Amino acid sequence: MTEIVDARGLSCPQPVLMLINALKKTDEGEIEVLVDTEASKENVSRAAEGKGWKVKNIQQDNLEYRIFLVKN
Amino acid sequence: MFKNFFSTRWGIIAVGAVIGILAPILQKLGNPGNMGICVACFERDIAGAVGLHRAAVVQYMRPEIMGFVIGSLIAAYLFKEFRPRGGSAPIVRFVLGIFAMIGALVFLGCPWRAMLRLAGGDLNAVFGILGLIGGIWIGTLFFKSGYNLGRSQATYTSAGWILPIIMIGFSALLFIFPMIKDQAQNGVLFYSVKGPGAMHAPVLIALVVGIGIGFIAQRSRFCTMGAFRDLILFRQMHLLSGVIVLTAAALVTNLILGQFKPGFEGQPVAHTQMIWNFAGMLVAGLAFALAGGCPGRQLFMAGEGDGDAAIFVMGMIVGAAFAHNFGLASSPNGVGPHGIAAVIIGLLVCLFIGFTMRKK
């Protein structure tokens, strides 16, 4: 099951903190992170890659981003 | 997909280098010593220019600040990143802005100026920087225990324009009522006849440099508070590399321009009281951390439409008025008559906010 982290409307460093908390519970699989600023998108992607996760895809939907992260 | 160069490691390094080179050049062109750029000092001068405080030596409508917001606004529109938003505990952010400014004015500088002072040889800055890191560290403890000011909401485009419009209005005032030599007032604006407020780079150059820095800082998310916060919280060096390069570039530029004078005594717009240099920045650093950005970053976020950052900026300008009207700000002679009390109260207020605004 894909875990969803909803960090919309939250400013630094909350999105990355939420991602890291989610990563503590999940060693591998898929995580989906929702953010609504470009800066949060970059920060989340950078932090995920730093933890060995891959950014599989980023969907932009209106003013929101869905970041799909995977680790196998 | 277009990759944002400025968000890469080399991007943030380039931005740090550009700011580090331009700030000492602005000083060479007329800005005060080790104050090529200082967001706190310049917002304080703006508070003086519009008469919110009447400290005669620090009154000037600094165009760099307007440039920062306008440059960020241009970048945000050009790259489709303008996001009008707000509503994340505005009154808390306003109060954090007030005490961030009061703490910064006990030290005499924002984090940018702390780095620039160090790069100019002012060793008192070391204590300010240690205080800044200490304050940010306390902030990370709150983050780890659930501190959070809540979500912002999307809002009207025009709401995101409010602070940029204020800044455009301020710039207009500067051109309508320009500085006249040896005159303390022109129209509605107050001007310093002597002191740091009387020292400034040519208006148009300052404005253009401000716009340029605002533009690249928006692209890169340059933030001096985030630099230390990310290192402490995430062991991430990304933002810090920009701050380190800023300091190094400013040091080299100062050496070239003959502006490097190492020591503790007689440094420009600085005092030598180590404890209060440390404690002032401790309060400021904690306030920046709790509000999610250094003073510069708050201006850039405000340019992107972030109304909460705009409130923080207004808090800083009001905080400057309190700082000078109540004798809280330091001078080259040392802390103001009520500066120590202000630091203690500021710390208590920040701790109150940090402890009571946590989600389980």
Q: Do B226 and A8 touch (CB under 8 A)?
A: no
Task: Count CA atoms within 13 Å of residue B277 on its CB side.
Answer: 25
Q: According to the model, what pLDDT value does residue A62 have?
A: 80
DSSP assigned state of B32:
P
Integer Cα distance of B222 and B51 in angstroms: 31
- The candidate with the shortest Cα–Cα distance to B70, out of B304, B265, B249, is B304
What b/e string do you get for B259-273 counting C-beta neighbours within 10 Å, with b at 16 or more? bbeeebeebbbbbbb
Integer Cα distance of B321 and B48 in angstroms: 7
Q: Where do the structural domains in chain A lie, given as residue ranges? A: 3-71
For testing the chain A interface, which of B2, B152, B232, B239 should be mutated: the one with the most A CBs within 10 Å?
Answer: B152
Say which amino acid occupies B164. P
For testing the chain A interface, which of B142, B236, B359, B360 should be mutated: the one with the most A CBs within 10 Å?
Answer: B236
Integer Cα distance of B310 and B301 in angstroms: 8
Asked if B65 and B48 touch (Cβ cutoff 8 Å), the reply is: no
Residues A3-71, CATH architecture = 2-Layer Sandwich (3.30)
| Chain A residues within 8 A of B153 when measuring between CB atoms | 9
Integer Cα distance of B351 and B145 in angstroms: 13
Q: Which residues pair with B189 in a beta bridge?
A: B186
Distance linking the first and last C-alpha atoms of chain A = 14
How high is the mean pLDDT in each 10-residue block of chain B (360 residues)? 81 98 98 98 98 98 98 97 97 98 98 98 98 98 97 97 98 97 97 98 98 98 98 96 98 98 98 98 98 98 98 98 98 98 98 94
Write down the pTM of the prediction.
0.97
For A20, the closest chain B residue by CA position comes to B234
Stretch (H or E) spanning A5 = strand A3-6
Task: Count CA atoms within 13 Å of residue B64 on its CB side.
Answer: 26
* B230 touching A (Cβ < 8 Å): yes
CA-atom Rg of chain B in angstroms: 18
- Which residue among A12, A17, A63 places its CB closest to the CB of B154? A63
Three-class SS state of B146 = coil
C-alpha distances in angstroms, B225 versus A20, B129, B287, B297? Answer: 20, 11, 10, 9
- Which residue among A10, A16, A42 places its CB closest to the CB of B234? A16
Location of structure tokens 């999105």: A15
DSSP string, B62-85: -HHHHHHHHHHHHHHHHTT----E
Q: Tell me the shortest Cα–Cα distance from B66 to chain A, in angstroms.
A: 22
Integer Cα distance of B115 and B243 in angstroms: 8
Q: Where do the structural domains in chain B lie, given as residue ranges? A: 2-356
Say which amino acid occupies B354. G
| Chain B residues within 8 A of A58 when measuring between CB atoms | 1
- Which residue among A8, A38, A50 places its CB closest to the CB of B151? A8
Integer Cα distance of B140 and B147 in angstroms: 9
Distance linking the first and last C-alpha atoms of chain B = 38
Location of structure tokens 């530029």: B253
Q: According to the model, what pLDDT value does residue B2 have?
A: 52
DSSP assigned state of B6:
G
Say which amino acid occupies B98. I
How high is the mean pLDDT in each 10-residue block of chain A (72 residues)? 91 94 89 94 94 94 91 86
Integer Cα distance of B63 and B340 in angstroms: 31
CA-atom Rg of chain A in angstroms: 11
Say which amino acid occupies B156. Y
